[in-house]
Amino acid sequence: MAQKRKAKLSEQTADRLYERIVYERRYVPGSKLPNENQLSEELQVSRTTLREAISFLVAQEVLEIRRGRGTFVAEELPAAGMDLTELEGMRSRIRAKDLFEMRLIFEPATVALACERATDEELEQIRKKARRVERVAAEGGDWPLADQEFHWAIIKASHNEYMRRLYPIINSAVNEILQITRNRRQMQEIALADNILIMEFLLQRDAPGARYAMSIHMKHLINTLRE
């Protein structure tokens, strides 16, 4: 049991270091990490745990050890958006879950507003976007982009300026997640099936029903990301 705890701590430490390098940009490519004593103190781990974490990141080509000089961030980090490492896969699943939980809070309320506020022309545009998702998916095209346009049409039809401004930020994160998920095909099937139900309630201007359908859609995606 002690061995398992030790391995878990080193992986957590590697994750924290990776976050500092890739997401927080504390250490830029080519820069030298602080010395072992300083870094282990900052991360509040033993030097042994730190060495294991560094070894893991060296194996993933995030760090490199230069004999007699210290540990450096690689000049070229593994390409963003590609599931090249176990660590990246772990981080991506965590970030994806948080993102879709946020969408679970945000988008059901938005589609309910769209039911109440959309013009007939806007509802027709949303319907066309939903059909385009089906067509693009059938042709093997970029269905995630088409699906995001469907959701964007709903956001615009809500006539809420703050929601309109927030969505591009969410959309950018969704794009990143869809590039690295292993369940892309399953997510496509979910989108196609759930969009039909969402559209049915929208066209009926049934706000409670549309809210429920969008909530179910997001929960389906969250469950897929957990697999």
Tell me: the pLDDT tens digits for 123-164? Answer: 999 999 999 999 999 999 888 889 988 998 999 999 998 888
Which residue pairs from 67-73 have beta carbons closer than 8 angstroms and sit at least 24 positions apart in sequence?
69/32, 70/32, 70/33, 70/35, 71/32, 71/33, 72/30, 72/31, 72/32, 72/33, 73/21, 73/27, 73/28, 73/29, 73/30, 73/31, 73/32, 73/33
Are 135 and 96 found together in one domain?
A: yes
Q: Answer yes or no: is 179 within a domain.
A: yes
Would you place residue 9 in the very low, low, confident or very high pLDDT band (cuts 50, 70, 90)? confident
Are 125 and 185 found together in one domain?
A: yes
Would the pLDDT of 44 be above 80? yes
Last residue of a domain, one of 48, 73, 98: 73
Q: Answer yes or no: is 79 within a domain.
A: no
Separation CA 12–CA 7 (nearest Å): 9
Are 110 and 65 found together in one domain?
A: no
Q: Per the structure block, which two tokens stand in for 84? A: 């090249």
Would you place residue 92 in the very low, low, confident or very high pLDDT band (cuts 50, 70, 90)? low
Would the pLDDT of 81 be above 70? no
Q: Per the structure block, which two tokens stand in for 59? A: 């194996």
Span 83-112, average pLDDT: 71
Residue-wise DSSP of 101-135: HHHHHHHHHHHHHHHHH--HHHHHHHHHHHHHHHH
Specify whether the CB–CB gap between 29 and 77 falls below 8 A: yes
Supply the CATH number for residue 166's domain.
Answer: 1.20.120.530
Are 218 and 164 found together in one domain?
A: yes
User: DSSP state, 28?
Assistant: -
User: DSSP state, 23?
Assistant: I
Are 161 and 211 found together in one domain?
A: yes
pLDDT at 58: 86
pLDDT at 8: 65
Are 218 and 106 found together in one domain?
A: yes
Are 61 and 90 found together in one domain?
A: no
Share above pLDDT 90 across residues of the chain, in percent, rounded to a whole number: 44
pLDDT at 171: 74
Would the pLDDT of 210 be above 60? yes
CA 146 and chain centroid, separation:
18
Q: Answer yes or no: is 81 within a domain.
A: no
Last residue of a domain, one of 20, 38, 73: 73
Last residue of a domain, one of 21, 39, 73: 73
Q: How many structural domains are present in the chain?
A: 2
Are 10 and 107 found together in one domain?
A: no
Which residue pairs from 83-86 have beta carbons closer than 8 angstroms and sit at least 24 positions apart in sequence?
83/180, 83/182, 84/60, 85/60
Are 60 and 101 found together in one domain?
A: no
* Residues of the chain by 3-state class (helix, strand, coil), percent to 5: 75, 5, 20
Share above pLDDT 70 across residues of the chain, in percent, rounded to a whole number: 83
Are 119 and 164 found together in one domain?
A: yes
Question: Which domain does 43 fall in, by range?
Answer: 2-73
Would you place residue 198 in the very low, low, confident or very high pLDDT band (cuts 50, 70, 90)? very high
Supply the CATH number for residue 33's domain.
Answer: 1.10.10.10
Lowest mean pLDDT among 29-38, 101-110, 126-135, 169-178: 169-178
